[in-house]
Amino acid sequence: MLRVKDLTCFRRDRALFEAVSFSLNTGDILQVCGSNGSGKTTLMRTLVGLYKNYTGCFDWDLPNPPLYLGHRPGINENLTPLENIKWVFELNNQHIETADMDEAIRQVGLAENAYTCCSDLSFGQKKRVALAPFCVGKNSLWIMDEPFSGIDGIGVTLIEKLFRKRSLWGGSIIFSSHQAIPSGLAVKKLELR
């Protein structure tokens, strides 16, 4: 569903990484690893079209646009978690049932905070809000930049559960992380240097 060929990304004329090629099939989970400054975030941003300074090519074959979790989680401080989740679905022109939203909120463990403004939430809790659309979304590809950063142990287990469920459904995931994932997920690895 995704083929990347000889992708080289530049930052101020310097190549961050060179000639990266890989492909992703339905149900694959790909972990992009590498040290700080190796271009993990840039690769993610390039794939979703937020970064243009690259050579090489990549092409998609997707029934719907990918769901993206960026470096900044995209949570509006003045809206409640529910309103934020709804906005993410509205952006993708998808309808979401109230029951599904409640379910998502419950899964990320924020049921009690569903109606408080996100400005009252901690960074980790905001990150969980940003993860909530992934619990119920129907997108066939997820692109997640550092999903594990700023998240506690329960949160990490939650994401792993999500990943497992997702790949069983036949969805694919690309995520970046510099740390090893503890559980036994079948994860392909792409090392940037």
| Number of shown-chain residues binding other proteins (CB under 8 A) | 28
Options 71, 138, 161, 165; binder of other proteins; rule CB under 8 A:
71
Please say which residue, 13 or 112, places its beta carbon nearer to other proteins: 13
Report which of 28, 64, 46 is spatially closest to residue 140, judged by C-alpha positions.
64
Options 18, 83, 103, 160; binder of other proteins; rule CB under 8 A:
83
Alpha carbon distance 166, 160 (integer Å): 10
Please say which residue, 74 or 150, places its beta carbon nearer to other proteins: 74
Residue 122 is a binding residue for other proteins (CB under 8 A) = no
Residues numbered 89 to 108 that lie near other proteins (CB under 8 A) are 90-93
Please say which residue, 49 or 182, places its beta carbon nearer to other proteins: 49
Distances in whole angstroms, Cα of residue 2 to Cα of each of 31, 60, 62, 126, 172: 14, 5, 8, 30, 10
Please say which residue, 52 or 193, places its beta carbon nearer to other proteins: 52
Residues numbered 146 to 185 that lie near other proteins (CB under 8 A) are none
From residue 27 to residue 56, what is the string marking binding to other proteins with x (rule CB under 8 A)? ---------------------xxxxx----
Alpha carbon distance 161, 145 (integer Å): 17
Please say which residue, 36 or 93, places its beta carbon nearer to other proteins: 93
Residue 88 is a binding residue for other proteins (CB under 8 A) = yes
Residues interacting with other proteins, by CB under 8 A?
12-13, 48-52, 65-66, 68, 70-79, 83, 87-88, 90-93, 117
